Structure 1
């Protein structure tokens, strides 16, 4: 009897050992040495990779689209996050047919109006909404990490923050998300709406992160160029923005292609889903086949993303441009959004950029999108726009969202502090 128990215990320990090794192997991801709190990042990345792979499995089985699996997982995880704060009133309402959540500072300053900010969340134009309509009410708009961020901004800036729950891929593709964003902006910028929320018409900004920063920049361009707009944005604040899909081999794409949490193939997949493209185009996109030298349709755009000119030598390092001699125009013909400045704000013409408001751009060294932000900033500067750069050498894509529960990453906390500080000084 004892011998049997001993054998079973031995077997249990062996199994436990191999499970531990397998788990550690799955979790461990080589990270650049500059990234702080690496084990936190590895754990977060392992969880995200697991959900992404489960989503692809469910998709392959024909049960559901993989982004719906991601949204389901995020929705049910973030419901555990804290969602209260002193000095902030939160309400769900509708702007131009769109669900929005309004965060209002309840601080009363006699005779003074508040700042106003329109916020677009990230998530590859496909993730970040857990809202469920029940007549005229909604629950759980957006992701809780953004909820926490917007509460903090409202409180510290004595502001009104409007978080827009724009429609998502795969149900809606470009230009659907853009149209939602601009409709929400025009609604918020109406003098009577600003007056209702006690917002100073001269202190309204637009902001967002990642795909949301993409929408924010596109909206800022549209509003700036509209001569009939009675109110313009005072600033735009872009957090690791995604701004172009013609070059997936910029130095940051090459350097960070295997760095969590936004891997290079995943960004290409997000672009294809946003533009309504076939997933089979991922590899041609990554090879820059759609931007080959013989694709004459890109002649007017090439200098707008010529990183050998737009990026400093410290960023270019020893990386070389990837420009195939011959490619195919098929993707450009099927996906006109690839060259549409509403989808790719980096491709905006100089006369559009000249009208853009003063701009804050937060970038992270270990992010495939780093160079999108840096190139856009350089083009804005060339157009005469004031640009404030906030670069984090130990940062990675998405780190700002991890300033809150459950991660509390130091770099994320620093990003939030810098971001709110800039808004406080410039809005």
Structure 2
């Protein structure tokens, strides 16, 4: 998923020397990670063992290769968030390039959790980290001045949300799928409004239908019953009420309320954000392709939301999910209150945002700078610049003139491949 999204971005990267250098370097690092993993798998197969985590830990050469792949992936991961800003394309395309890394970020800890057989290391630290990340991203989404940036914070908040779920022993797969479908609808909604607004002028009382895609996307991300977001909320609050600390429960309720308020503001900005020049006549193919994307995303989201067991076929870990009606019958009063409070609180925060903002506006700039870790960026900028120059000089020698780096890399891979 990461490689496909990044290849899409590289093709559309801005026409600057810096952009092309970053794209070429990222592709090289991604290829190094893939090559290391393939070589490790081949080495294990040659030793007569089925490649797996235990084999990698017991085989020195495979362990080195897997470590190289992990370091390469961690090094390239931030570029998946940076590069979309330099892509020449529609806002929907750039936004999708943000969604894919976050969904992958939800999936990778889930796979790691399965590999360690549910014994997640440092659970208290992971719960604290996930809860703080969830709350910080929710606060920034509520206070974001530009509605088109709200979704970026909402999406990033799901990383902390997913870490809490995983640490509590719950799969984040429904959350990841719900994020893909719900955010996808909100990304497509402006194009849908722009292409169908003029056509809807003759629909009479049905003109409001152009707002349906954005409304469904907000409902999915807010966790309204009948969506996969509701499945994730039910699992989260059931686990928190049963085993989680009260402080984490309160943090999650506050964060969800802020996210609901931010999503409502993003929803209302969809229609007003469409410019007049975007409402020009479009081709029949473009109009119906947008309609097809909306139908597929909304249909898939509502179908698996109303009947989550449908996920059992493509995702074996989802076999235990009950249907919506079974889930509703099994909800206790405390769980119902925990699920409902964020929706009510989010609506109230959206309704009285002007009054609340008047009280916090004087402190917001400083608070936002601290929460965005801008102080940390400034603190490390000087040593980072020095290190970057050293790496650039090493790269000129290793990758450019002399190709010494590539020679050493090929030699290392050959040695590890034939090493018994």
TM bucket normalised to smaller: under 0.3
Structure 2 length as normaliser, TM-score? 0.28
Bigger share in helix: 2
Structure 1 length as normaliser, TM-score? 0.27
User: Which has more radius of gyration?
Assistant: 2
Bigger share in strand: 1
